[in-house]
Amino acid sequence: MKKVVIVVVISLFSFKQIIAMKKDIVTQKKMIEFNFASRENFLAISKAISKEKLSKKEVQVIIEKNKQGIGCRTNFDEPLLNCALHKDKNDFFNFLLKYCADPKEENSAGFNALIVAAAYNNIKALELLIKKKIDINHANSYKETALHRAIINGCFEAVSLLIFHDAKINAIHGIFKKDSLDLAKKCLYEEKNKDKKKDRVEILKILKNFNKEEKMK
């Protein structure tokens, strides 16, 4: 009798294990299908971003059809939102934000959308991100803020906007070990492009003026 009970118990246990295993297989299959679909959707959006002269309507249709892939990243660990920050890609950027792409997402080096927008002097994107109350003083892995990056790239408009919205000018760049003012001086001294030099002169002026105002407070 005991043997029969043991056999029944083992059989029930095995049956439960089989059911659990089947559930796991189904769950894993769904996950694989979901991940595959997400990747395909991501590739569709990524490919579209690299195209030129897509209308606003075409951009919207592509993102609506493939929104499942918005959270995916490139092989270089770059969020899709960061890929859409060239000025001529603002329609993509706007729609990605609309469909809940996370502007706080960082790539492997800590660059979020705010820092990338500053690097490209993309004022429209910067204004949108500031409205969303993204930390304006967020620093990447090199302790580099959006203001630092805008200064390094000679982006006068981005520098002006960031300072107006209280970006810290005394934050020290992790590699160059300089605050914004000294960093601007270094970049101006090293700039060889005459056209770019005009912007760098203006950047230095606005930082000096702001620095004086801060000291007078």
**Is residue 90 within 8 Å of 78, Cβ to Cβ?**
no
**What tokens appear for 58 in the block?**
């075409």
Question: What Cα–Cα distance (Å) separates residue 180 from each residue in 59, 149, 150, 162, 172?
Answer: 37, 10, 10, 12, 7
**What tokens appear for 132 in the block?**
């969303």
Structure letter (DSSP) for residue 132: T
Q: Give me the architecture of the 113-217 domain, per CATH.
A: Alpha Horseshoe (1.25)
Cα torsion angle, 163, 167, 170, 176, sign: negative
Considering the chain, tell me which residue range(s) the CATH 1.25.40.20 domain(s) occupy.
113-217
Structure letter (DSSP) for residue 73: B
Q: How far apart are CA 131 and CA 122, in angstroms?
A: 14
Q: What is the dihedral of CA 67, 76, 49, 130, to 10 degrees?
A: 80
- Residues in the chain, pLDDT under 50: 2-13, 15-16, 18-23, 25-34
Question: What Cα–Cα distance (Å) separates residue 177 from each residue in 144, 156, 170?
Answer: 10, 21, 11
Q: What pLDDT shows up at residue 37? A: 59
Pick from 95, 98, 97, 113: which is nearest to 59 by CA? 95
Q: What pLDDT shows up at residue 38? A: 83
Q: What pLDDT shows up at residue 36? A: 53
What is residue 79's three-state secondary structure? strand
Pick from 60, 49, 105: which is nearest to 79 by CA? 105
